[in-house]
Copies of this chain bind each other. A is one copy, B any other.
């Protein structure tokens, strides 16, 4: 069995590191538009972001047609990358409110109400900044991609919310959801980056497709990790999607392999009905049991194979692009996403 060296994401992103720093500075430039106490809180919220994969994709795509070494990127590309990451951060901030994470047990305190209101508005402020940054690109096609993607993301979140605890959905609903929730922004970043760089339409489409396939794989791996990870790595208990009533790819494979899936679905429906009636216990007991079963069977492996298939397609999308360190970085991103599955 070969052991691959762990991929250092910092090294992968190195070719766009200097421009990522410009994006970071732009995202944090709220001091003048917001009064001081809030500005500090915002910069914290923005700073607590993750690996900045989405803006990195926009920057890499904008460089993908260039000969090495690439000249400095236009400020419109920095604005695009900041817009993409700000939009992503806004949805994360609102997720807290949607999941009710801020709500204290029992009666809400004044402070909880203040927090909820401030959190909604903090997310809205980020949406506003994202729209402003998109407008700053000055490119109508990019602005349209931005607003289409915003609609797709929100529409997908609404579908996900409505689909919670509906165990009678089909696997296609899952693909729609992860496209809306994740892949749509990945491919908006690569398409818009390519558009701003003035790449030919065929290359724009290759880069868009690359973003789509990478994004689909990324979300599938995320959903796998929610089953296979432990609380220390995930920052939340394993099976949190299932606990929320959201079905993901491993679970669909698990259901598919059962001799009588309808029996399990009936059991899940009953547990949720009891939770609705006030008794959370049956549902809370069922979830960890199901997580163990999904882990033990072939479902995780099957889901991994699907992620790998999306990544293979993503690599193919890059084949037609010039052989630069930016293309190499995008190929390494594919490896990085695979690695997360193990």
Stretch in A153-161, A187-195, A258-266 touching the partner:
A153-161
A339 part of interface (Cβ distance < 8 Å): no
- Binary flags per residue of A156-191, CB closer than 8 Å to B gives 1, else 0: 011101100000000000000000000000000000
Q: Separation in Å of the A60 CB from the closest CB of chain B?
A: 25
CB distance from A97 to the nearest CB of B (A): 5
Q: How many copies does the complex hold?
A: 2
A35 within 8 Å of B (CB atoms) = yes
**Is A305 engaged at the interface, CB distance under 8 Å to the other chain?**
no
The interface bits of chain A over 96-108 (1 if a CB of B lies within 8 angstroms of the residue's CB, else 0) are 0111100101111
Interface residues of A in 110-154 (CB under 8 A from B): 110, 113-114, 116-118, 120-125, 127-129, 131-132, 134-135, 138, 140, 143-144, 146-148, 150-151, 153-154
Which B residues are in CB contact (< 8 Å) with A157?
Answer: 121, 124
Q: Is the CB of A21 closer than 8 A to any CB of chain B?
A: no
Assembled-state Cα–Cα distance A58/B105 (Å): 46
B100 touches A117 (CB 8 A): yes
Q: For A233, list chain B residues within 8 Å (CB).
A: none
Binding site for B on A (CB under 8 A): 33-35, 37-38, 94, 97-100, 103, 105-108, 110, 113-114, 116-118, 120-125, 127-129, 131-132, 134-135, 138, 140, 143-144, 146-148, 150-151, 153-155, 157-159, 161-162, 275-276
29 contacts between A and B (CB under 8 A): A33-B155, A35-B159, A38-B158, A97-B120, A98-B117, A99-B117, A100-B113, A103-B108, A105-B107, A107-B107, A108-B108, A110-B275, A114-B161, A116-B116, A118-B158, A118-B162, A120-B120, A121-B154, A122-B158, A123-B124, A124-B154, A125-B151, A125-B154, A127-B127, A131-B131, A131-B147, A132-B147, A135-B144, A143-B143
